[in-house]
């Protein structure tokens, strides 16, 4: 038996025309397969239409408020890390581009020669500077050198601690955007 278009009509959402409805009724009287389908869909349709809205468990809004603070903190922390990663990436990319530029614009031999000359020149400059500094240090009292080194080391320590503190605070609280 041909079940079309009756089977389409059974599941159709829009209302049927009067004529189609009469045809469907007549078909259902003679077709047990479509009868079964119609009965099943009527049951399901009734159940869907009468199903209530499922409410959330009590305290949903309180849980939202609690999770909002937590999510914000995580979001800000993520922003700090993203900023750090973007800056690091930009630095590495720039470095890679500079290296690429140098490699592409110089032959390996000339590059090696230049590097070798630069290193040799730097070594000579270092030796000269060392000799000058040694000569200069001999004229300064040893106590003053020790005091200078102590001040320099103290400043380095303070700077490293301050940087560490700022980074910890930023990663915990984030950087305010507003």
Q: What residues make contact with another protein under the rule CB under 8 A? A: 1, 3, 6-8, 10-13, 32-37, 39-41, 43-45, 47-49, 51-58, 60-61, 63-65, 67-68, 71, 75, 178
| Between 41 and 91, CB nearer to another protein | 41
| Between 63 and 173, CB nearer to another protein | 63
Provide, rounded to whole angstroms, the least separation between the CB of residue 84 and another protein: 21
C-alpha to C-alpha distance for 80 and 173, rounded to whole angstroms:
9
| Between 21 and 75, CB nearer to another protein | 75
| Between 71 and 168, CB nearer to another protein | 71
C-alpha to C-alpha distance for 159 and 170, rounded to whole angstroms:
16
Provide, rounded to whole angstroms, the least separation between the CB of residue 175 and another protein: 17
Provide, rounded to whole angstroms, the least separation between the CB of residue 170 and another protein: 21
Is the CB of residue 2 less than 8 Å from the CB of residue 33?
no
Provide, rounded to whole angstroms, the least separation between the CB of residue 152 and another protein: 47
| Angle (CA) 77 72 90, round 5° | 35
| Between 13 and 141, CB nearer to another protein | 13
Provide, rounded to whole angstroms, the least separation between the CB of residue 171 and another protein: 20
């Amino acid at each position: 038996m041909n079940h079309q278009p009756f089977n389409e009509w059974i599941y159709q959402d829009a209302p049927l025309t009067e004529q189609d409805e009469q045809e469907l009724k007549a078909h259902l009287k003679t077709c047990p397969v479509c009868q079964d389908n119609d009965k099943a869909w009527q049951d399901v349709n009734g159940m869907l239409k009468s199903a209530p809205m499922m409410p959330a468990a009590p305290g949903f809004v309180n849980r939202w408020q609690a999770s909002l603070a937590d999510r914000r903190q995580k979001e800000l922390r993520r922003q700090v890390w993203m900023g750090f990663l973007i800056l690091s990436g930009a630095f590495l990319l720039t470095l890679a581009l500079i290296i690429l530029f140098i490699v592409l614009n110089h032959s390996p031999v000339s590059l090696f020669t230049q590097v070798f000359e630069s290193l040799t020149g730097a070594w000579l400059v270092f030796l000269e500077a060392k000799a000058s500094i040694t000569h200069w240090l001999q004229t300064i009292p040893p106590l003053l050198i020790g005091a200078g080194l102590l001040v320099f080391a103290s400043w380095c320590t303070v700077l490293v601690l301050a940087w560490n503190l700022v980074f910890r605070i930023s990663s915990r609280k984030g950087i305010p955007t507003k």
